[in-house]
Amino acid sequence: MARGLRLLSRAAARLRPLLVQGPTARGFSASAPEPLHVCVVGSGPAGFYTADRMLKGHEGAQVDIIDRLPTPFGLVRSGVAPDHPETKIVVNQFSRVAANGRCSFFGNVTLGRDVSLSELCKTYHVVVLAYGAESDRSLGIPGEDLKGIHSAREFVWWYNGHPDMRDLSPDLKNTESAVVLGQGNVALDVARILLRCKTELATTDITDYALDALCGSTIRKVYLVGRRGPVQAACTAKELREILGLKNVRVCINEADLVTSPADEEEMRNSRIQRRVYELLSKAASTHKDSNYNDQKELHFVFFRKPTKFIPSENGSTVGAVQLEKTALKADEVTGKQVAVGTGEFEDLKCGLVLKSIGYRSLPVEGLAFDKNRGVVPNLRGRVLSSESETGTVETGLYVVGWLKRGPTGIVATNLHCAEETVASILEADKKGVLRPPSDSKKHGRTGLLEILEQKNVRFVPFSGWEKIDSKEKMAGQLRNKPREKITTWDELQKVANE
């Protein structure tokens, strides 16, 4: 313990936001009980909402947030489209959470490499896994490894400046057509970025290298391919309305695909969102039908098609087309929902770029149960279970939130309700005395984490380091009439943070 305090003292100058305020400064007496030490793994919306609710719900909680990136905010920074600045305003709220004296941020700390889950569990009363989904689902069809095929996540991270995708370099110059597999909001995002007027993108926080590549793009046609019909399109009306309203883009929809069945009508009666999406698509089909578009880009909605294989181009290593099988809707015997089934009819759709928007996927943690089919940690209202069965025992002090808890669904705000549920489970357990039993050895929390990182020579980035990155990005952005010019390499991020 004494060594840990010495480490804390030596780091004081650099770690001002991390220093624990004295008991009297927080309004506690000198004999106040040990704080509830909480570690949140992941600094995206789920992580920050959890920290916020934890600090508000428990006046004795100290919350440490760790993230493998030097920058906080997760998908708000690397996932939200650059032309959606209003969605990013939530970082102001998260920054206020980080400024709380009982909260700290440890960037550039990777779970499993720099600190193990078992080490965190020994150091903290509560560990909340909130690291989201950093991988992708696979189609498992022939040709998926051809050049020119990327996941939508990779493409989004590329244009948003995620340091892992800085060097993705998608080829946008040697094809006229791009195929986006999927019709959810992420699929619409990447299609919109490919088609949007570049002068409009130039005033966003899109990375300079991505803007340069898009300005030189030869892509004129983007195909959004869905297995089911327009009634089942997975996007929201807001996102759809935006892409349908793009300047100088012709929207192409096969009117035969808009014919609805009694089952479709029933779905729309039960879902206002589905009804609104269908209405927008129907209106777009009639609006664009008789218009004369010269030298304009095209957005094609392709319904009732599923990919069966990728066909190489003449050079043999790059994708040249996607083979699609026509589908029909059939009621699932178990759920009753309409699912797409193949009809045995095939067609090829030529393209030189494919973006797979078929779902993000979370990565498992060593020593922790993981549901591979759903891509989540088995849990009961955020309480981590020892097995995939709901009858599995609860892992004391271990919780999950966000996409790792429920799967990659919802919008940024969805994580608020998700975090509230998990925090309620934590507070309930603490009230019962489960998290701090009398026989439990003392947990050192923040001081213990500092000691672990010091022993392993891990140079972490505190929130003050992020503020240096933030300031430099904004200053660079001002010179280009942008909100910010993102720093996009690991080395530069770490260098600026430690200046």
Binding residues for NADP(+): 183-186, 227-228, 239, 410
Nearest to 283 by CA among 255, 303, 306, 307: 255
Cα separation of 474 and 408, whole Å? 30
Judged by DSSP in three states, 482 sits in: coil
Residues in the chain: 499
Indicate the DSSP class of residue 443: P
On whether the CB atoms of residues 355 and 180 are closer than 8 A, the answer is yes
Q: Which residues are annotated as a binding site for FAD?
A: 46, 75, 111, 403
Judged by DSSP in three states, 177 sits in: strand
* Residue with token string 């869905």: 226
What per-residue string of b and e applies to 364-385 under the rule 16 or more CB within 10 Å gives b? ebeebbbbeeebbbbbeebbbb
Indicate the DSSP class of residue 356: E
Judged by DSSP in three states, 118 sits in: helix
Give the tokens for residue 41: 């793994």
Task: Classify residue 273 by burial, with Cβ atoms within 10 Å: 0-12, 13-18, 19+.
Answer: middle
Q: Which residues are annotated as a binding site?
A: 46, 75, 111, 183-186, 227-228, 239, 403, 410
Give the angle subtended at the CA of 63 by the CAs of 59 and 69, to the nearest 5°: 155
Cα separation of 139 and 180, whole Å? 13
Classify the C-alpha dihedral 376-90-356-488 as positive or negative. negative
**DSSP assignment of 325-340:** EEEEEEE-TTT--EEE
